Chains A and B, each alone.
Chain A
Amino acid sequence: MQVSIYRYIPETDSQPRMQDYEFERPAGRDLMVLDVLEQLKIKDPSITYRRSCREGVCGSDGMNINGRNGLACKTPLGAVVKNNRLVLRPLPGLPVIRDLVVDMTQFYKQFERVDPFLINDEPPPEKERLQSIEEREKLEGLYECILCACCTTSCPSFWWNPEKFLGPAALLHSYRFLADSRDTAKEERLSQLDDPFSVFRCRTIMNCANVCPKDLNPTRAIGKIRTLLVKHGT
């Protein structure tokens, strides 16, 4: 199999290039894309990428794999390799620090903007703030996000206005707290979202839901925020 990897060191290279490597796929078992990178790195230690848990929990090895964002550790070769070729590029839309490592600052800035924590101004109970089973169920499909940025960096609306459109990951978190029965800052949260960009730049292209490695659906969460905004504003 031929593996083509995006190589770029902004400080010294005048422009990025693709470097090809030969890789022997073992017979009888599938590998993850991350396994390929690990083995290639033994031969060429200069290849740079992020990784940590290698099991889809930390969200650090998000990259563009044969044209589609995903986690290298959770993507089997069998599912993505076509014509015996694997092309690895950094997540699109963010500045490259080196090779497959991108600068996530803008992504985290948008995450911070939605106050991604529980706000409750009532005096704390003795033990903990309880939820009913139904209230807790509303958080399913929201709290699982690992902030890998696969969704946000595949969203054209984020590419064109990364400073103003929050992007699917931040919006998913925003809805996670809007939907939380223990949160008392709903009004303030909604007021912060009501400008032409933060939420409404989403054009329901659904790239986000299409790539999420945790099978979450930010598009649906954004739709729910819109509904809340309509109720809030009328």
Chain B
Amino acid sequence: MVVNVSNFSRNGLSDFLLQRLTAVVIAAYVLCVLGFLWLNPGLTFVEWISYMESIYMRIFSTLTLFSITAHAWIGMWTVSTDYLNEHHFRSFGHVFRWFFQLFVTVAIVIYVLLGLWVIW
């Protein structure tokens, strides 16, 4: 049977709220970047770099990076406990789920490190 140990906060409500909150952050970030592009037609690379390298955008980018991480983990954890379980794969269910969660964890760690390196 599926257990909760690998769940983000081990509490349904915080996961639920966190997933919605991070979605708002991600959406705001997308709007912010798209809005900048839309307001600045004929943008040069130098202008773009100076915008993205401002301290506000760096902090916002970092916040978004972590939001995507939390959002992805909660979502992937849900998918794996729905579909990679004993109902679909009998006794292999927890092995598949374990490998999948390991894979997602590694991918997320690489993503965060790479992201921080790019932003800062």
Residues of A in contact with B (beta carbons under 8 Å apart): 156-157, 159-164, 193-201, 226, 229-230, 233
Contact = CB atoms under 8 A, between A and B. Distances in A.
**A interface SS class:** loop
A221 to B, nearest CB: 16
Given A162-B87, A229-B12, 16 more contacts: A157-B82, A159-B87, A160-B88, A164-B1, A195-B10, A196-B4, A196-B7, A196-B10, A196-B11, A196-B12, A197-B4, A197-B12, A200-B12, A200-B13, A201-B78, A229-B13
A48 B82 CA distance: 32
A200 B85 contact: no
| B contact face: mostly helix, strand, loop, or mixed | helix
B24 to A, nearest CB: 15
A161 B87 CA distance: 8
A197 B81 CA distance: 10
A196 B15 contact: yes
B34 interface: no
Interface residues of B, number: 19
B11 A163 contact: no
B16 interface: yes
Contacts of B12: 193-200, 229
Contacts of A198: 12
Contacts of B83: 160
Contact of B2 (A157, A164, A194): A164
B1 A230 contact: no
A30 to B, nearest CB: 38
B113 interface: no
B85 A233 contact: no
